[in-house]
Amino acid sequence: MQQYSTDSTPVAEPFNGSARRNSLLDSVRGISLLGILLLNISGFGLPKAAYLNPAYAGLPSLSDGVVWSLLSIFAQGTFLSMFAILFGGGLELLQKRGRRWNVIRLFWLGVIGFIHSVFMWDGDILLSYGITGLGAVMLIHGATSGDNLLRTGIVLFSIGIALLLCLGLLTGIDGQANSFWTPTAAELDAEAQWKLAGGIQAWSARFSMTLMIQLAIIIQYGWELVGLMLIGAVLMRNGWLKGNAEISTYRRQGWMLFGLSLLIHLPVAALQWWSDWRFDWANYYLQVPKDLAAVLQGLGYMALWYGYGQRIQLSQISKYLASVGRMTLSNYLLQTVVCTTLFYHLGWYQQLDRLSLLALVPLIWCINIVFSVLWLRWFTLGPVEWLWRLLSGKPPATKQPTI
């Protein structure tokens, strides 16, 4: 891997390089968190089958199909991949605090995720990150070099892709779907009932779904997640995630990666329409190239932000994004609070189509931004970040360099 140095980075703002890099990292975290809501909004407002299958209740309307396809091409999996890469980069930064403290942090992240998944929303990712992060920490701590860590990350991600293909082959050649992909009317009614009613019934349903999700993480998707975290650790270690490359390099890489992702996404989207979102094709065979394209696109978005976003590092936009990024955990849970209130407590569940759901996203982004900016005027940590640090204990001191 090419090593980047801070000396190669043009000075775009009148403040030190460390502050600029922290602002860049925080802002790209904010972008990834806000971007995830583009897909999660359908997970709140529609049945769980709608997240991956727009034809879960028959062929979608033209509006639903177009919105779903655009999100599939430009967002689905992309911001989750960015999030995993940035999470791995954070693990690399914190490894100097010691493996034991990182393990404790990930344990409590998993606890927070479990509570979120069972008692608030079944689309939680925190528990999965807590579990897979443990494996990533061990591998990062034991890596002898960045090259070895990169190879390990690529191998693990490739294993996850291969397992996804194998699962598709195991479904058989008839492509017969199940209730996860095309639920019956009775199953949709039952899902709506427990989501809107809440209480023990909802907790029980979410607990079962949480167990199934973690089983899927262990069997297949966790391999991809750990691989992406290791790649993120390498990109942090060599300085790419810190913004240490030439601005021209980021721009060139960004457009190249984004272009490659479109070369994969566009024919995949066409094939999804052609197959009428058949279960084996859409959920497995076509998901394989989509997962690869999502990583390329996520890296492309980050590179483009590093290449062009540095021009607006003193603008309000960048400050807002950085504020959201500094409170990623709190803002992720805040999105759940807002969306569950709208869809489950106020009864908006299944009342809006995809385009209408998408129109709500900027309003929720504004809530995230306003909350972050106001909170950080008085506190240095988000509320859930503060609780997480309290539960994890005081981090061990790091050895200061001798001058």
pLDDT of 381 > 90? The answer is yes
| Single pTM value for the model | 0.91
Average pLDDT over residues 281-295: 93
The reported pLDDT for the residue numbered 4 is: 42
Q: To the nearest 10°, the Cα dihedral for 4, 27, 89, 328? A: 170
Task: Give the tokens for residue 281.
Answer: 């094709």
Q: Give residue 353's Cα distance to chain centre.
A: 23
Express each pLDDT in 193-240 by its tens digit.
999 999 999 999 999 999 999 999 999 999 999 999 999 999 999 999
Query: Torsions phi, psi of 58, nearest 5?
Result: 110, 170
> How many other CB atoms are found less than 10 A from the CB of residue 343?
24
Q: Give residue 115's Cα distance to chain centre.
A: 19
SS3 for 56? Answer: strand
Q: Give residue 11's Cα distance to chain centre.
A: 30
Average pLDDT over residues 243-262: 95
CA atoms within 13 A on the CB side of 293: 21
Q: Average per-residue pLDDT in the chain?
A: 89
Are 318 and 312 spatial neighbours (Cβ–Cβ below 8 Å)? yes
The percent of residues in the chain predicted with pLDDT above 70, rounded, is 90
Which 8-state DSSP code applies to residue 358?
H
The reported pLDDT for the residue numbered 312 is: 66
The reported pLDDT for the residue numbered 172 is: 57
C-alpha 64/C-alpha 355 separation (Å) is 7
The residue with greater pLDDT, 126 or 402, is 126
Q: To the nearest 10°, the Cα dihedral for 31, 32, 34, 37? A: 160
Q: Where are the alpha helices (DSSP H) in 275-403?
A: 279-280, 287-308, 316-326, 328-340, 354-378, 383-392
Tell me whether residue 328 is exposed, middle or buried, using C-beta atoms within 10 angstroms of its C-beta: 0 to 12, 13 to 18, 19 or more.
buried
Express each pLDDT in 305-357 by its tens digit.
999 876 765 577 888 999 999 999 999 999 999 999 999 999 999 999 999 99
Task: Give the tokens for residue 116.
Answer: 């979120």
Query: Torsions phi, psi of 56, nearest 5?
Result: -65, -25
The reported pLDDT for the residue numbered 401 is: 39
Q: Where are the domains positioned within the chain?
A: 6-392
C-alpha 349/C-alpha 202 separation (Å) is 15
Average pLDDT over residues 161-188: 80
Express each pLDDT in 106-149 by its tens digit.
999 999 999 999 999 999 999 999 999 999 999 998 887 889 99
The reported pLDDT for the residue numbered 49 is: 92
The residue with greater pLDDT, 157 or 10, is 157
Are 316 and 370 spatial neighbours (Cβ–Cβ below 8 Å)? no
Are 334 and 368 spatial neighbours (Cβ–Cβ below 8 Å)? yes
The reported pLDDT for the residue numbered 351 is: 95
